[in-house]
Structure formats: C-alpha cells, structure tokens
Amino acid sequence: MMKRKVLFLAVAVSICATLAHAGTVAYWRFEEGPDGAQVSHGGLPDGEFYPGVVDVSGSNNNLSVWNESWAGYIYRSETAYSKVPLNGFENNYSVKNSGGYPAMWTDSSSSISKITPAAFTIEATFKLENGGYKTIVGRDSRGSVTQGENPNADLAALYFQTVPNNGFAIKFCDVSGYWHEAIAPENSYIGFDWGTDPDGEQAPWYSMAAVSDGATLSLYLIQIGSGEGWKLIAQTDLTASGSPNTALTAGTGDGNDWDAGNWTVGRGLYAGGHGDRAYGYIDEVRISDSALSVSEFLVPEPATLVILGLGGLGLLKRRTR
C-alpha cells in the first residue's frame, strides 16, 4: 500500500512539474457553452473588446469575438476528445464560425500582447474546411519584416495556419526583422466542404503544434483517433537566416481594427487587413513561452515520431511565401 502511495505522489509531482515547465502564457478552452450558443460579446458594439473566452492559464489574456452574428463563433458539442489527454480536463465544447468573417483577438492591454519570447510553442486542435490560407492562430503587425531576402512589410508577426492545397505552415517575424517559416507539403490534412458537408462530419480532427527553440522551428501534426503518433511535417533552421536574435517580435504598426502585438484566433492579417479566416472548428488553443517536447503537448504521444518523407536535414530549409 505504501509503495502505491509513493508511486501516486511521484506521478502527481511529475505531472505538476510538466505543467509548470510549460510556461503557459494563454490557454483558451472554449468551455463556456452551452451547445449552440454564440460566444458572448456582452452586448457591445461590433469590434469592441469583450472577454467572452476565458484564458484558463490565469494570466487574464482573454479573447473577444467581433460580434455575435456574421463575425462570431458558436459553441458546438463536437470535440476531438472528451477529456484533454495531458491534464484530464473535461472537454465539452469547441467553437465554429457563425458567419463568413470569424475573428477572435486579445486585448491590446493584456500581457500577451507585449511578449517577445526567445522560444515558444503554439498548440491547437481543429477540424477545418478545405483549401486556402486559414490562420488558426496569428499575431497582428505590419512593417516588422525589414531584413533578409526580399522583405515583405505587409506580413503580420505570426501565422499558424493552413496554406493552399491543404498544407500547413508556421511563419513568424523575429525581433531583428527577419522572416522565418516552416511549410508542410500539400495534402497534409483532410478538410470538409461547407456546401456538401456543412458540419464537417466526414473530416477528422487534428492537433498541431509549432515549436521554436530559437535555433530550429518545427511543426508537428497528429490526426486524432487514427492510432498514429505525432508527425514532424516541417522544420527550418532559424540560424541560416543570419538573424542576430530569433525571438518573436511584438509587432509594429497600427490599424483601425487591430493593434500590433495582439494575438488572434480564427483570422490572420495581411497588408493591415483582416483575412485568412479559419472556417471550421477550433478547440484547446495554448501558447507557451518555452519550447515544449512532444510529451508535453496537450495531446502527448509516447511513440516514436514518424517523419513524413522529408527526413533529416532535408527539412532544414528556408522558404518564401
């Protein structure tokens, strides 16, 4: 009996240590509910910030929707898993866009809008429509990309997104003005077509994680329920850019409907305009200011990673949008 107690305590301490190591900056679970209800905008005018989605990390980096109709989200009972594998939290709801212009963002006064982490991890679980650029998590900015080959000032600070032909990418600008990206091959996921399958019943759920340790940028994917482990689908050598500091930029510029440094869920920004909207289901979004290992992801997988036909150093390359 004593051995069992000691083992239990050891496991509990290990779990607590893992969660503490994660350095969670924001964690949006979308558990407010109920099913079918709009994510609350508090009755405010369109575009005003209202903390309708709680940041459960305790850092108060809450999210707001744009409104409760054409630019909002609805709670849905469809989820990838009933309990979050890492922490055992009940997972009752995801969110799905309620119109053609979905958008959620953090307040410009929140602490997350100022961070410039030297290392970071972004995680999300989702089921999305097919095709195009769809930014699951972004960071608003314009004019921060000033260095490197063919700098494009219209790029935002960060995109954690799908790209045309059902690929994926993690892209960001560092504090030195250099652009970095890791882009996965086409047909990396199966999406759904709203016209024939509006509820996405024929598409699987995925979890994706982007990890930067300051030297390497990696993108991982797992198809929930497939029985397969995490796959390393893209990777880039950050040091090859020549940047003196690869920490994530806090962003620059300003717009009538965005502020530099704000984080977004469900939309991106390009040339100062909202776009790249992520149509479909989004759930369990977490941002950490450290480079997590696969075993520390919200959906940990102890099995050996499977690298998709892009083995070893062949992944370490820079690409341009």
> pLDDT digits over 69-104, tens only?
999 999 999 999 999 999 999 999 999 999 999 999
DSSP string of 149-190, one letter each residue = SS--TTB-SEEEEEETTTEEEEEEEBTTS-EEEEEPPTT-S-
pLDDT of residue 22: 53
> pLDDT digits over 241-253, tens only?
999 999 999 999 9
Does the pLDDT value for residue 319 go beyond 80?
no
Does the pLDDT value for residue 3 go beyond 50?
no
Q: How confident is the model at residue 42 (pLDDT cuts 50, 70, 90)?
A: very high
Q: What residue ranges do the domains of the chain occupy?
A: 24-315
Q: Which top CATH class is 24-315? A: mainly beta
- Structure-token pair, residue 124: 């999300």
Does the pLDDT value for residue 301 go beyond 80?
no
pLDDT of residue 311: 43
Contact 186, 166 (CB under 8 A): yes
Enter the DSSP assignment of 111: G
pTM: 0.89
- Structure-token pair, residue 181: 């990206």
Contact 230, 305 (CB under 8 A): yes
CA 202 to chain centre: 23
Looking at every residue in the chain, the average pLDDT score rounds to 90
